[in-house]
A and B are shown apart, each in its own frame.
Chain A
Amino acid sequence: MIAIVDYGAGNVESVRRAIAHVGATATLTDDPAQLQRADLLVFPGQGHFGQAMARLRERGLQDVLRAHIDAGRPFVGICLGLQLLFERSEEAPGVAGLGVLAGEVRRFAERDADGARVKIPQIGWNAVQRARAGTPLDAVPDGTSFYFVHSYHVVPDDDAVVAGRATHGGPFVAAVQRDNVFAAQFHPEKSGEAGLRLWSAILEGGWWGRAC
């Protein structure tokens, strides 16, 4: 079963529709019992790091997500769902993230290296360059554009988790993958044909070692 974690953070229905479009069925739920039975968890998110963590804790989902990941089952984070995997964020100082990946979440710098203004939030299509092979990004040509909407980006301690990068003011991490966890800063469910192809690759498996 594919479950989408529905914890009141944004347009999760569009994720369900994109998954349905590529031929799979996903359930939207915040019920811990149901989430515990999921083979693959999709963890979307929009909005504020601190509020999202508070909502996860209120619903008792923090431990469910950790247990799923620790058990080696496939896990897909989207946008804020990527950021929440890290230890902390400049958006919510003092709030602990899930801490699945070491590192932090930072706001885009307002100026680039040349002193030019950087638009925040970044809204629109940006080309993602693969950092390595063996992630779902293999399903699309290197440099394919995806749709981004965000003001913060992740800074992993370990470069080896980076799956893809893009440039906004300077290079930033657009996707990460480690073992059974793949997470994207962009919205594959809003990235047209490229996004649907990525969803297919995510659900087909391979990147975490076995089919779902």
Chain B
Amino acid sequence: MLDIHISDTNRVAVVEAQGRIDSNTAHELGSALNQVIDDGYNKIVLDLAGVDYMSSAGLRELVAALKKVQNMQGDIRISRVTERVYEVMEIPGLHQVLRFFDSQAEAVNSF
């Protein structure tokens, strides 16, 4: 089960995910990110406080969306990632291409 909530803070799209991101649900994350990109956002905060599990299927959607927004001079920034999910991002080296913040507000204000 994956729940996704999208909101706007000062023209930054905040995508809050809650639940498990695996091969059964990753497409929902991909759809949500693509939707905000199609709506014209190039600044996105992905809040992962409620995500206790992510596999490479989630990374695939995240990297695909990240490539898209960086081509639009934008970025996806991560807030409140759990230790376990951070490790899954760290193994493929994504901690070097993503920026992480302790709160949504800090991530939003970083743009």
Q: Do A and B come from one complex?
A: no
